[in-house]
Amino acid sequence: MGRLNHLTRRQFLRGASTATLAGCLRGVRVLSARPGGLPREKILQFRHSDVKLTGGPLKAQFDRIHAAYMALDEDQILKVFRQRAGLPAPGQEMGGWYDGEGFAPGHSLGQYISGLARLYEATGDTGTQAKVKRLVEGFTATIDSDGYSYASLRASTAFPAYMLDKNLVGLLDASRSAGIPSALNTAQRIVKGSLRYLPSRALERDEMPKQAAYDESYTLPENLFYAYELTGDRDLMELARQYLMDRRYFDPLARGENVLPGVHAYSHVNALSSGARAYLVLGDSKYLEAIRNAWDMIEKTQEFASGGWGPDEKFLEPGKGLLGESLKSTHAHFETPCGAYAHFKLARYLLRFTADARYGDGLERVLYNTVLGAKDPKGDGHFFYYSDYQAGAQKGYHPDKWPCCSGTLPQAVADYTINAYFLSDDGLYVNLFLPSELRFKIRGMPAKLSQKTDYPEGNSTELRLELPAAAEFTLYFRIPGWLQRPAEVAVNGKAVGVDAAPGRFAAIQRRWQNGDAVQLTLPFTFRTEPIDNEHRDTVALMWGPLMLVAIRPPLSVPGSALSSAGTTLLKPVPHSKNMFELERTTDKIRFAPFYSVAEESYTTYITRT
C-alpha cells in the first residue's frame, strides 16, 4: 500500500467529526483513496459523532446502557490488574469471570473502554470521555516494563490472544473515538508484551493446548489491522497477516466450502471481520469471497427468525433438522449481545464493500429481534446472555457475573448510530429507519438530514434535508426484502416514480433544496417463517421487520393460529403498538414483538397443524 493511500486511509479513520459530501457534487471520491482500479468500499461508514439518535426504543436502550456503564466502579474494574502489579488496589472484587482466578480474568476491561469511547463520540459527554481517560491511565499504570499487561498468570496462560484482542480494541477506540493520545502508545506496548504468550499462528479450538482450550487467536487480525491503520506500523500489519486463519477458514470459505458446522459460532463470525479488514487493507479478493459466502451459509442454513444463530454456541450441520430440534434440546439459542455485535460488524463491512441492501436487511433483523430485546444489566454483574426460543420461555440472566456479553453489550449499542447511514461518491444511503439526525458537509458547509419516524412501531418515515444551498446528489434508501406490498415514496408530499423493488436501495437523484423531504411508507404484513426445511410446519410469526411471540401462551397454541387463514384473524390490541390478539372460544392469545417482552413467558415457534 503506497504511502499516499495509507495517509488517506488514516485521515479517513481519524477523520473530522462531520463527513464531507463532496463526491456527490463532483463525481470524485475524496474521503477514501484505493490503489489500482475500483475502490474497495462502494459506500463509506460515518463516524459515531455524525449521527444522533433522537427518540424511539433504540434511543431509550442506548441511554439506559450508557448510564449503566457510566455507573461502573473504576477501582473495582482495575482491581485485578493493580493486584497483579503490586499496586494499591481499592474497591471490591468483581467476582464471576473477571477475578484473577476466575474463568477469564480481566477479560472485559478493554470492551468497557471501547464501548464508553464510542458512547462518548456519539454523545460528546465529557464525563464519559473523562471515565475513558481514567480507565486507560489506570490500566497503563499496571503494565510491566516488558509490556506484560494481563490480569493474572491464568489470563496469560488460558486466554493470551483473547485478552490482547479485547484490550487492544479498547485502547484503539480510546485514541480514535475519545481522543486519548496516550492510548495508542499503550496499545503498541501491550502487543509487544503479549507476543511471547501467543501461538505462532491462528489455531482452531481443536488445535489449542489444553490450558488454552477456549482462546481465540483467529480473531486477532481485525484489531491488529486497525492498529496498523492508526499507527502506520507495518510490523502490526505483518502480525495481522500472520494470524489470518487461511488454511482452515478463509481458503475453504472462499471456495464455497461450508466449514462452519461444529465451530464456536460467535467467535467465528467475529473472525469474519478479520477477513473483512484483510480485504480492506491487503486488497485480496479471497477474503471478500470468504465473508460473502459465509454470510450466505449462515443466512440460509443457521438463522432463526430473529436473525440469531448458534444454539449452544455452535453452528449446526445443515440439512438434518438440527435447528428445529434445538427448540427442545436447549435454552441457549443465541449468544445475544456478543452475536449481535459480530453480526453488525460483518453486515457493515459487507454493506461498505457491496452496497447490497440484503446486508442491511440482515442487520435490521438482528437489531430489532435480538439485542434490542436484551434485558438491561442487573447492576450486580449479571447480564442477559442467551435468547431462548423454547416454548414458554422467559428472559433471564447468565448465572455467572461479568460474562463476555457484558463487554460486547455497550459496543453493540453504541454502534446503533453507525448502522444507520452511509456515504457514497454521489450521495447518502439510508440503511435504517429510526428517529435520528445525520450531520455532514457540502462544500465545507454544514448540512443535516433529519429522520422523523416511529418505526418499527409504525411503518413510515420522513427524511428532511437542511442544506446551506441547493445541491444535486442522490438519496438512497433501503427497500426491505420482506416487503410483500409496494413501498410508497413521495417527495414533498407528492408521489414519485422510483424503482422501489424489495431488496434494493431505491434512489432519488435530483437537485435538492433546503427543506425538501422524502416520505417513505413500508407496508407491514404478516408472514410466517419455518425454522428449517426439515420442520416446515414449525414457524415463527413475522410482522414487517419484527418477530412476534405469543405472550403468556396457553399450554398449547393452536397451529391454525399461524396458518394463512389464522393470521387474518389477528386483530390489533387497542392502545398497544404492534400487539395483536387471536380470539379463541375459551381465551385469547396475544402476540407482541420479542423486544417488548419483559418478565412474561412467551413462545416463539408454533407447529402448524
Q: What is the pLDDT of residues 233-264, one digit of tens each?
A: 999 999 999 999 999 999 999 999 999 999 99
pLDDT band at 103 (very low <50, low <70, confident <90, very high): very high
Q: Which pLDDT value is given to residue 397?
A: 98
Tell me the mean pLDDT in the region 580-596. 85
Based on the fold, state whether residues 564 and 551 are members of the same structural domain. Answer: yes
Tell me the mean pLDDT in the region 87-102. 97
CB 445 within 8 Å of CB 469: yes
Angle between helices 357-369 and 285-301 (to 10 degrees): 50
DSSP track, 305-350: TTS---GGGB---TTSSHHHHHHHH-S--EEHHHHHHHHHHHHHHH
Q: Does the residue 440 lie in any domain?
A: no
CA distance 149 to 147: 6
Based on the fold, state whether residues 279 and 299 are members of the same structural domain. Answer: yes
CB 319 within 8 Å of CB 261: no
Tell me the mean pLDDT in the region 144-170. 98
Hey, which bits of 12-118 come out as E strands? 19-20, 44-45, 51-53
Q: Which pLDDT value is given to residue 256?
A: 98
- Measure the CA angle with vertex 538, ends 455 and 268; round to 5°: 70
> Structural domain of residue 541, as residue ranges?
526-607
Q: Does the residue 266 lie in any domain?
A: yes
What letter would DSSP give residue 530?
Answer: E
Based on the fold, state whether residues 331 and 361 are members of the same structural domain. Answer: yes
- Measure the CA angle with vertex 163, ends 203 and 379; round to 5°: 130
Say yes or no to pLDDT of 33 above 60.
no
Q: Which pLDDT value is given to residue 80?
A: 98
Show the cell assigned to 182.
Answer: 496516550
Q: Does the residue 431 lie in any domain?
A: no
Q: Does the residue 432 lie in any domain?
A: no
Q: Which pLDDT value is given to residue 556?
A: 62
Q: Which pLDDT value is given to residue 583?
A: 74
Based on the fold, state whether residues 211 and 73 are members of the same structural domain. Answer: yes
Based on the fold, state whether residues 190 and 60 are members of the same structural domain. Answer: yes
Q: Does the residue 107 lie in any domain?
A: yes
What percent of the chain clears pLDDT 70, i.e. is strictly above it? 91
Q: Which pLDDT value is given to residue 561?
A: 65
Q: Which pLDDT value is given to residue 13?
A: 42
Q: Which pLDDT value is given to residue 34?
A: 37
CB 547 within 8 Å of CB 604: yes
Q: Which pLDDT value is given to residue 443?
A: 86
Say yes or no to pLDDT of 585 above 80.
no
Based on the fold, state whether residues 216 and 354 are members of the same structural domain. Answer: yes
Q: CA 395 from chain center: how many Å? A: 21
pTM: 0.94
Based on the fold, state whether residues 403 and 508 are members of the same structural domain. Answer: no
Other C-beta atoms within 10 Å of 422: how many? 25
Element (H, E) at 335: strand 334-335
Q: Which pLDDT value is given to residue 566?
A: 58
Q: Does the residue 153 lie in any domain?
A: yes
CB 97 within 8 Å of CB 400: yes
Number of folded domains in the chain? 3
- Polymer length in residues for the chain: 609
Based on the fold, state whether residues 416 and 536 are members of the same structural domain. Answer: no
Q: Does the residue 61 lie in any domain?
A: yes
Phi, psi of 528 (to 5 degrees): -115, 150
Based on the fold, state whether residues 481 and 535 are members of the same structural domain. Answer: no
Among residues 567, 519, 566, the alpha carbon closest in space to that of 543 is found at: 567
504 bridge partner residues: 479
Domain final residue pick, 462, 490, 521 = 521
Element (H, E) at 436: strand 436-442
Q: Which pLDDT value is given to residue 375?
A: 98
Based on the fold, state whether residues 374 and 502 are members of the same structural domain. Answer: no
pLDDT tens string 455-467: 999 999 999 999 9
Tell me the mean pLDDT in the region 135-153. 98
pLDDT band at 563 (very low <50, low <70, confident <90, very high): low
- C-alpha dihedral sign at 352, 357, 358, 363: positive
CA distance 392 to 530: 19
Q: Which pLDDT value is given to residue 277?
A: 97
Based on the fold, state whether residues 498 and 536 are members of the same structural domain. Answer: no
Based on the fold, state whether residues 139 and 237 are members of the same structural domain. Answer: yes
Q: How far is CA 512 from each of CA 178, 414, 515, rounded to the nearest angstrom?
A: 34, 31, 9
pLDDT band at 584 (very low <50, low <70, confident <90, very high): low
What letter would DSSP give residue 246?
Answer: I
Tell me the mean pLDDT in the region 294-304. 98
Q: Does the residue 148 lie in any domain?
A: yes
550 bridge partner residues: 591, 603
pLDDT band at 19 (very low <50, low <70, confident <90, very high): low
Q: Which pLDDT value is given to residue 4?
A: 24
SS (H, E, C) 3-41: HHHHHHHHHHHHCCCCEECCHHHHCCCCCCCCCCCCCCC
Among residues 235, 243, 194, the alpha carbon closest in space to that of 219 is found at: 243
CB 453 within 8 Å of CB 461: yes
Q: What mean pLDDT value characterizes the chain?
A: 92
What percent of the chain clears pLDDT 90, i.e. is strictly above it? 88
